[in-house]
Structure 1
Amino acid sequence: MAFDDFISDCELIDLPMSGAQFTWSRGYSQSRLDRFLVCPRWLDSLLELYQKALDHTVSDHCPILLDPKLESWGPTPFRFDISWLQCPKMEKRLGGWWVSAKVDGPADVVIGSKLRLLKERLKVWSRDRNNEGHNRKRWLLSRIKEIRVAVEAGLASKEEVGSLKEEYNSMLLQEEISWRQKSRVKWISEGDKNTKYFHGIASAWRRRNRIECLRVNDSLSYNKEEISKEITSFFQRLFIG
């Protein structure tokens, strides 16, 4: 109980473990004695962090590995980020892309083709926007600090600091909305400015939903190619027959 209180007081997190359910065994007794406990700041810098139980033969304890690597399972599906709607003239930009996509054919073919073209436009725009946004946020913070010093020295006006802070807060709001959507948290009201919380929830969802192993042909497989093939085959049988 004292150790549990220590873990709670220090806000330590017990990460999901793959490869085995127990880390110690002797005779008929089994228990999970070995584990990594990490602080939230680790998860802020390493979004994908897992414990993995390794094979053991002689010792009663199996070694565990703290793995920050995330294997690529292929391209991620496209999702519309509702924070994009906070960007200036976004609706006009979307309308222009939709009109500029010239497609002929039946209505269903036209709509499907236009949506695919719009998706590709959004992917390119989002990638460029993210790169520019990171640089812009760093510049804004640096500039705000410089102007604050100048204001104290009587060499600049407070209005200039206010306009920069307004732009910076707008960028933070867009980031908050984006992480709220990824976290799937629906019950917190708008404007809570708690991006770190949403960031943690989204990371927890990714760790919980990750498939480390799957039963393939009556045996557990950790091979990502076999797992991907089995999942694809399952849904093909389910939807195509």
Structure 2
Amino acid sequence: MAEFSDCINDLELVDLPLSGGSYTWRRGLGSDHNPILPSCGDWEFKKSYFKFENWWLEVEGFRERVKEWWNSFPNTGRPSYNLANKLKLLKKELTQWSKSHRLNWKKKKEGILLQISSWETLQDQRALSDDELLQKSHLPMEFKEVAKREEIAWTQRSRVKGLSDSEDIKDAAQTFYQNMYKETEHWRPRAVKMGLAR
């Protein structure tokens, strides 16, 4: 038993505090199952850091909006306090603004795809008029604009997480397969040597 205790101490194992019933099974025909619940303490959720999103710069009127917010924040106290307070308030405004724009993107993207689908269904049933063709022709450009902002956001996030640019990935995959099929040896297995020849 002493060796067992030493092993537990050496491995720094800790007995989990449990809550629930004392036993999980008792002799007899009836079940008295009562789960033993491990208690792992309080979980601390870390707040995510504020990150400036590059796609914000693509939104029309963004800079003017930031300037408007900045000038609307109060100037009370020392300059260092004012700066810290304004940055804190700006962070809050940008976070809310960004969330609303992301929701708008999603709705706009879904709406554009739905419109394209309905135009194509209508076009299968009958010929579209010039006005209808003009309306349909604008949809891919609108979709491309929304997709561009989304791509900028995902590209920035992928770099934050340490992922490479799509061109780097493409080059690495291409090099891998080129090297894989490069023959460095002239030897090839023959069916005769392996006993497979007839």
Task: Tell me the TM-score normalised to structure 1 length.
Answer: 0.44
Q: Which amino acid aligns with 1:82?
A: N
How far does the alpha carbon of each residue in 1:150-200 deviate from its partner, in whole angstroms, 9 at most, with x for none?
4562244332123222221111111111111111179759xx8xxxx8xxx
Structure 1 counterpart of 2:90, from 100, 118, 134: 118
After superposition, residues 125-164 of structure 1 pair within 5 angstroms as 125-150=97-122, 153-155=127-129, 156-164=131-139
Contact 2:158 2:164 (8 Å CA) reproduced: no
Structure with more helix by fraction:
2
1:180 corresponds to which residue? Answer: 155
Q: Deviations over 1:133-165 (max 9, x none)?
A: 212211110012222444562244332123222
The alpha carbon displacement at 1:123 in A equals 1.1
Q: Output the CA distance in 2 between the equivalents of 1:167 and 1:130.
A: 15
Residues 1-241 of structure 1 correspond to what in structure 2 (within 5 A)? Answer: 73-150=45-122, 153-155=127-129, 156-184=131-159, 188=165
Structure 1 residues 105 and 162 mapped into 2: Cα distance closer, same or farther (>3 Å)? farther
The alpha-carbon distance between structure 1 residues 88 and 150, as it changes in their structure 2 partners (threshold 3 A), is farther
AA aligned to 1:132 is N
Displacement after TM superposition at 1:77 (Å): 1.1
TM-score in terms of structure 2 length: 0.53
Give percent identity, aligned residues only: 26
Letter in 1 for 2:74: K
Q: Which sections of structure 2, spanning at least 5 residues, go unmatched? A: 1-42, 170-198
Aligned residues, how many?
121
- How far apart, in 1, do the equivalents of 2:142 and 2:136 lie? 10
Q: RMSD of aligned C-alpha atoms?
A: 2.6
Structure 2 CA distance for partners of 1:160 and 1:183, relative to 1, 3 Å: same
Question: For 1:16-43, what per-residue CA distance to the aligned partner results, in whole angstroms no more than 9, with x for missing partners?
Answer: xxxxxxxxxxxxxxxxxxxxxxxxxxxx
For 1:107, the aligned partner's letter is P
Greater radius of gyration (CA): 2
In 2: Cα distance, 1:167 partner to 1:74 partner? 37
SS in 1 for 2:76: coil
Q: Note the residue ranges of structure 1 that are not aligned, 5 or more in a row.
A: 1-70, 198-241
What is the alpha-carbon distance in structure 2 between the residues aligned to residue 128 and residue 72 of structure 1?
Answer: 27
Higher normalized strand content (fraction of residues): 1
CA spacing shift, 1:186–1:162, aligned 2, 3 Å: farther
Task: Describe the SS at the equivalent of 2:74.
Answer: coil
